Amino acid sequence: MTTDKLKKIIADSLKWTSICVLIGILSGSASAFLLVVLEWAAAYRGQHNWIIWLLPIGGLLIGLGYHYYGQEAVKGNNLLLEEYETPKKTIPIIMAPLVLIGTIITHLFGGSAGREGTAVQMGGAIADQFTGLFKLDDSDRKTLIILGISAGFASVFGTPLAGALFALEVLYFSKISFKSIVLSFFVAFIAYYTVEFWEVKHTHYSIPIVPSFSLTMLLWIIPISILFGLAAMLFSRSTHFWGNVFSKAIKYPPLRPFVGGVIFAIAMYFIGTTKYLGLGVPTIVDSFTNPSEYYDFLLKILFTGFTLGAGFKGGEVTPLFFIGATLGSALSLFVPLPIALLAGMGFVAVFSGATHTPFACTIMGMELFGIESGIFIGIACFIAYLASGPVGIYHSQIVKGAKYNLYQKFKRGRLDNF
């Protein structure tokens, strides 16, 4: 190896190390701030339930902000996927404050939404700013987007391995370099430890009883995992359905979340419960020890799909955790498996089906619940992934491979029979 080549390798290594450290610290700090503020918003809303009547005003503010300052940023996670697949221009940095403020407003006034989308978009927007600073080409810019997704996901959920894998798997059928894989794990841990440095805590879950795996249990796991996949399909289609309804019915975008906020607030008044507002973390935690109502997962699908379709901000993943955990918990009344195990399986399996990321979700389950439950979680994630259909929560995501081929053959078979 020549001296010049060695110098180039050292310089390149230092450059990417610096980039990862900066992205990890900035994204991790942004996620830490988000987690603290959302915890405050949930507590304040819980003590002042009347504030939900301000949801239409909050929605109007979100709509106006995106309409006048973030017409590109409004695409959210889909913009990251599009820029990765076909790089055009740097993701606007305004995406970060817009989605942060929009998410805080949504949660403070009671909208049903998550937080993963916010963290990932902040991470992606922050990361892409280094394109110009370091004069990177399109190939390196793709690596930056992976780093932003990885840092955002890992830091907001406290799952660095799953965060790194999610960033890679959600882009699985696009070209990913070996360098991107290594750096994705590196930045995920930096972002994770940044949140730890700020002493911001994540919610802890546990599966205290994990039975020995057997063929009899597999015969139970298969059908309930299919149900998890169908719940993921229903959620994805619900979100897209409400988005289409609002875009067709209301031509002026800022009015969509305003009208949606009015309808949502009235609906919550008549339902008479705050269970489905915000993240729903207390209900998720409770589902691991007490059977959920059979309709909890359906109402969360309805209200989250409506909230996001109307134009409010946040994310889909924590609601997917709610949907899966409550569905699994409700099934514990009929399925001879421990309630916590069923809730944990649903927690990650519905997420797997909705995002087409079974590997990342399996690892996430083991990070959150322990490696002992790995075989149950892995089977549930892969079956739910196959059963959830070709449509996921990200319409710009490329879906190919075994799942894509399976549904293509199914469609052709139906046409041939017809």
Distance (Å, whole) CA 255 – CA 92:
24
Is 70 exceeded by the pLDDT of residue 411? Answer: no
Q: What is the pLDDT of residues 285-324, one digit of tens each?
A: 999 999 999 999 999 999 999 999 999 999 899 999 999 9
| Banded pLDDT at 25 (limits 50, 70, 90) | very high
- What is the pTM for the complete model shown? 0.94
Is 90 exceeded by the pLDDT of residue 35? Answer: yes
Is 90 exceeded by the pLDDT of residue 160? Answer: yes
> Residue 405's pLDDT is what?
63
Q: What is the pLDDT of residues 180-219, one digit of tens each?
A: 999 999 999 999 999 999 999 999 999 999 999 999 999 9
End-to-end CA distance of the chain: 64
> Residue 177's pLDDT is what?
82
Angle at 103 between CA 116 and CA 173, to 5 degrees: 30
Distance (Å, whole) CA 371 – CA 342:
15
Helical ranges in 212-338 per DSSP H:
215-249, 255-271, 281-287, 296-310, 317-331
Q: What is the mean pLDDT of residues 372-381?
A: 97
Of all residues in the chain, the percent with pLDDT exceeding 70 is: 94
Task: Please say whether the beta carbons of 93 and 72 come within 8 A.
Answer: no
Neighbour count for residue 21 (Cβ, 10 Å): 14
For 370: left if phi > 0, alpha if psi spans -120 to 50, otherwise beta; the answer is: left
Mean pLDDT score of the chain, rounded to an integer? 93
> Residue 2's pLDDT is what?
79
Contacts of 196 (CB under 8 A, 6+ apart): none
> Residue 106's pLDDT is what?
98
Q: What is the mean pLDDT of residues 169-182?
A: 83
> Residue 398's pLDDT is what?
74
Of all residues in the chain, the percent with pLDDT exceeding 90 is: 85
The CATH T-level fold of domain 215-405 is: Clc chloride channel (1.10.3080)
Contacts of 182 (CB under 8 A, 6+ apart): none
> Residue 225's pLDDT is what?
98
Neighbour count for residue 3 (Cβ, 10 Å): 7
| Banded pLDDT at 6 (limits 50, 70, 90) | confident
| Banded pLDDT at 402 (limits 50, 70, 90) | low
> Residue 408's pLDDT is what?
61
Contacts of 357 (CB under 8 A, 6+ apart): 165, 166, 169, 170, 351, 385
> Residue 403's pLDDT is what?
62
Q: To which CATH superfamily is domain 3-197 assigned?
A: Clc chloride channel (1.10.3080.10)
Is 60 exceeded by the pLDDT of residue 417? Answer: no
Is 50 exceeded by the pLDDT of residue 151? Answer: yes
| Banded pLDDT at 1 (limits 50, 70, 90) | low
Tokens found for residue 56: 């239409």
Is 80 exceeded by the pLDDT of residue 400? Answer: no
Is 80 exceeded by the pLDDT of residue 174? Answer: no
When comparing pLDDT for 394 and 418, which is higher?
A: 394
Q: What is the pLDDT of residues 95-110, one digit of tens each?
A: 999 999 999 999 999 9
Delimit the domains of the chain by residue range: 3-197, 215-405
Neighbour count for residue 140 (Cβ, 10 Å): 18
| Banded pLDDT at 276 (limits 50, 70, 90) | very high
Q: What is the pLDDT of residues 129-141, one digit of tens each?
A: 999 999 999 989 9
In CATH terms, are 3-197 and 215-405 the same topology? yes
Is 50 exceeded by the pLDDT of residue 19? Answer: yes
> Residue 188's pLDDT is what?
98
Task: Please say whether the beta carbons of 385 and 352 come within 8 A.
Answer: yes
